[in-house]
Amino acid sequence: MAPAQPIADDLDDGLEYDVQFSDAETPLQEELSLEENTEVISEYINGKIRRRNPNLSALELTGLYFNKNEIRSTSDFKDTRNLDNLAKFVTARFKNMSSIKLINKNKLHVDLKLVKSTRSRVLCCTPGRLVKVLNSEDSELSKDEIKIVIVDNSYLDTKKQNIWDIQETLKR
């Protein structure tokens, strides 16, 4: 008795194929490097916005989306992207500017006093802290003063979330 042959579907041509995949990066992968391609970066962020706001219409979502022209590539910064080199990156981009750090461990009035007492408008803070400072009646900082936002997309918290996965980042 012959061994049972497996039953194939109509699309099976009965041939065995030897498929080999290369580990090398394809030109498309190189072209779509997230550090260099602002279109890919904006599409990534806009995809997160779309998933966070499933009840909004396409027109409403358009008002929240980032345009690729609003994003600047950091590909010319050749040093390793880590916390130690962040200060070097900021200093290279914004010469002769001081920065202040607004943290949730401080009471809000402490951060508001810090913003009021300094001319520095380079702030290091979470999105939630920035919103609290902007929405405070005593704030000396206005939304119009915010010209540039630097986002560290590489950091993962204990839940393996980056900045775009955190709810407060994409709040309307």
Q: Which residues contact 48 (CB under 8 A, 6 or more apart)?
A: 164, 165, 170
Number of H helices, E strands in the chain: 6, 2
**What is the reported pLDDT for 96?**
72
Q: Which stretch of DSSP H or E encloses residue 52?
A: helix 38-52
Tell me the pLDDT of the chain averaged across its residues.
Answer: 78
Q: Which residues contact 148 (CB under 8 A, 6 or more apart)?
A: none
State mean pLDDT over 63-83. 83
User: Which one has a higher pLDDT value, 20 or 42?
Assistant: 42
User: Which one has a higher pLDDT value, 10 or 155?
Assistant: 155
CA–CA gap between residue 59 and residue 63 (Å, rounded): 7
Segment 92-109, tens digit of pLDDT: 777 777 778 888 888 999
CB–CB of 100/124 below 8 Å?
A: yes
Q: Which of 16-20, 35-39, 126-130 has the weakest average pLDDT?
A: 16-20
Segment 22-66, tens digit of pLDDT: 655 555 444 445 556 888 889 988 999 999 889 999 999 999 999
**What is the reported pLDDT for 165?**
83
Which two tokens mark 85? 């080199």
